[in-house]
Structure 1
Amino acid sequence: MRRRCDSQDLRRLRRGARVLRIGHRGAAALEPENTLAAFRRAVELDVDFVEFDVLDLADGTLVLAHSDDLLEVSHGVAAGRVRPLRLPELREVAPELPTLEEALEFFGSTAVGLHADVKCGGHGRELAAELRRHGLVERTVASSFWTRALHDLRAEEPRLAVGITYPEDRRGLARRRLLAPLVPPAVGLLGRALPRRLPRWLKGTGASVAMLHYAVLSQAAVDRCHAREAAVWTWTVNEPELLRRVVALGVDGVISDDPRLFLQ
């Protein structure tokens, strides 16, 4: 029987002398997101973890892509959906997009921690198997908005730390120039009930981390998570003033498109 993720393993998810530095989709402000180039840049900038997104294709291949929107994933080259495609078809319009296997091969040559944000259900067995094959289970935390995906992952690999993401931003609204200013006020409304819901969500999923959008953060939410010995990571923080604010609330990890922010 595989041992479960224990308290010693979970210490790496909590802040020590400083907050954990997490590169969002690698270093999405500096290189094309979810590519090996973005991951290399994040590692060069000395992040503690690299966050990336996992999506499935029609042929069962797991690739690193944020959404099912082909226009987003191909950086404007083609429109349509990603998931109905097979890998050769996707590579025609997004040649830099790595498979999960290719990404893990790269990460295996580094010492960086991994944050896999799962955008699809039903592939817990494949993801867990790839992490085991590359010896990366104990360096990885897998997160999702979907509780079923977290249960599947925990069942397949008890050593794997999991995190619950809140709220869902499937369409990437927080990064769209015209809509981004509207996101914090709208998301902030969701944060009012969050402190009382978090303990139930953490217990129900076995999550070791709450991945919270900065607009739903509050001292009460952070304290509730810490009372359950769960870490709090917040996304996506790209401004120095916002970084200071979330660090003051006691978050354990900060996810940023530009890891240079942590060096200022």
Structure 2
Amino acid sequence: MQQLLASPDPALRAATPGMPPPLPADRGTTGPDRPRRWPGRQLDIQGHRGARALVVENTIPSFLAAFDAGATGVELDVRLTADGQVVVWHDPRIEAEKCRPTAEDLIGARVDELTLEQLRTIDVGSRRLSAFPRQRDVPDARIATLPEVLEVGRDRAPEVWWTIELKVDPTEPGVRETRGRLLDGVLEAVAAAGTARRSLIHSFDWAVLELARDQAPELQRSALVVTGVTYTDGSPWLGSLDWREHGDDLAGAVAAVGAHVVSPHHGSVDADLVSRAHDLGLGVLPWTVNEPDDLRRVVAAGVDGLITDDPELALSVVG
């Protein structure tokens, strides 16, 4: 799928291959020749897996809770099923702490080895997590597909930003095929939903971002990173990038891989990283920022948005 938008930004066409274009001064502007830029004119408060501090994660009610809380964006995880469906789910396996079988006992099974029909038999709304004392359950909620979630968002929150994390592990066998099929499914879904102008292709596997750059260069791309773990010498998570050419310059590495946004754990975000990223035309989107002091700290550092389990709290602190 080479073109999801009819008229990509002229800056994209003129950019050096492999490098993201600088963000224009009026990042919220749209028009016939300019896709809307993340994050627009305001700090983007993104609900993590919907709003999992409020409602059981990655369920449609959790996304609705994020919208109702005032989140301007949502982050979600996508995986492939055995029959090629793109589903919104974080874990590679069906975990007992989040899932209740209602037919066949599928606890421990891999998501990519189950069909959508099998996954639909699992109640993913009845298990609350002790880490989130305010979390509300939604009994009998089922795993949703990406098109289903995007459709709900289109109807309830048409201006929301979508940060779609493609869960791809480059150390697993067959990853090249998995990566391509999952990306194809995501591109088809955002095109069909009309959300391409408000979507970030987001992944720890930077080869996903390189593939997205080649297949849909007009979409914005966000590079997830854990410094010292996925961003380190010899890491398999960096696509074609050679870590040794960038070292401590994380923002420079993200720019070199052709992403538009750097998304590190919030603990590694400071004003120097934000300044370097902005100098390169990158946005900064830390995760997962839940504590009031951390929320204030990353906003003071100048980030463009943040991912949080509790968008209601985040907006009360920094909104």
- Kindly tell me: are residues 166 and 64 of structure 1, through their superposed partners in 2, closer, same or farther at Cα, counting changes over 3 Å? same
Root mean square deviation, CA, Å:
2.4
User: Which residue matches 1:188?
Assistant: none
2:75 and 2:293 map into 1 onto residues whose CA distance is: 22
- 1:203 aligned to 2:227? no
User: Which residue matches 2:68?
Assistant: 44
Which deviates more from structure 2 when the two are superposed, residues 7-16 or residues 222-231?
Answer: 7-16
**For residues 1-264 of structure 1, what are the structure 2 equivalents within 5 Å?**
2-5=6-9, 6=11, 7=23, 11=28, 12-14=37-39, 16=41, 18-71=42-95, 74-75=98-99, 78-94=107-123, 95-109=141-155, 110-111=157-158, 112-120=160-168, 121-122=179-180, 123-167=182-226, 195-204=248-257, 206-261=258-313, 262-264=315-317
Asked which structure has the greater CA Rg, the reply is: 2
1:105 and 1:165 map into 2 onto residues whose CA distance is: 25
User: Which residue matches 2:173?
Assistant: none
**Which amino acid in structure 2 is aligned with residue 203 of structure 1?**
A
Moved over 6 A (4+): none
> Residue 76 of structure 1: CA displacement?
6.0
Per-residue displacement from partner, 1:35-89 (whole Å, max 9, x unpaired)?
Answer: 1101101111111111111111111010001120210684365233222111111
User: Which residue matches 2:171?
Assistant: none
- Gaps of at least 5 residues in structure 1 are 171-192
Per-residue displacement from partner, 1:232-251 (whole Å, max 9, x unpaired)?
Answer: 01111111111111111111
**Which amino acid in structure 2 is aligned with residue 64 of structure 1?**
V
Q: Percent sequence identity over matched residues? A: 31
Does the 8 Å contact 1:194/1:221 carry over to 2?
Answer: no
**Which amino acid in structure 2 is aligned with residue 200 of structure 1?**
A
Give me the TM-score of the superposition, normalised by structure 2: 0.69
- Gaps of at least 5 residues in structure 2 are 12-22, 29-36, 102-106, 124-140, 169-178, 230-245
- Kindly tell me: are residues 257 and 72 of structure 1, through their superposed partners in 2, closer, same or farther at Cα, counting changes over 3 Å? farther
Does the 8 Å contact 1:164/1:202 carry over to 2?
Answer: no
**Which amino acid in structure 2 is aligned with residue 83 of structure 1?**
D
- Kindly tell me: are residues 238 and 142 of structure 1, through their superposed partners in 2, closer, same or farther at Cα, counting changes over 3 Å? same
> How many residue pairs are counted as aligned between the two chains?
239
Per-residue displacement from partner, 1:102-134 (whole Å, max 9, x unpaired)?
Answer: 111112212211110111322222211111111
Q: For 1:234, what is the secondary structure of its paired residue?
A: coil
1:194 and 1:133 map into 2 onto residues whose CA distance is: 39
- Kindly tell me: are residues 72 and 248 of structure 1, through their superposed partners in 2, closer, same or farther at Cα, counting changes over 3 Å? farther
> Residue 14 of structure 1: CA displacement?
4.2
**Which amino acid in structure 1 is aligned with residue 112 of structure 2?**
R
**Which amino acid in structure 2 is aligned with residue 92 of structure 1?**
T
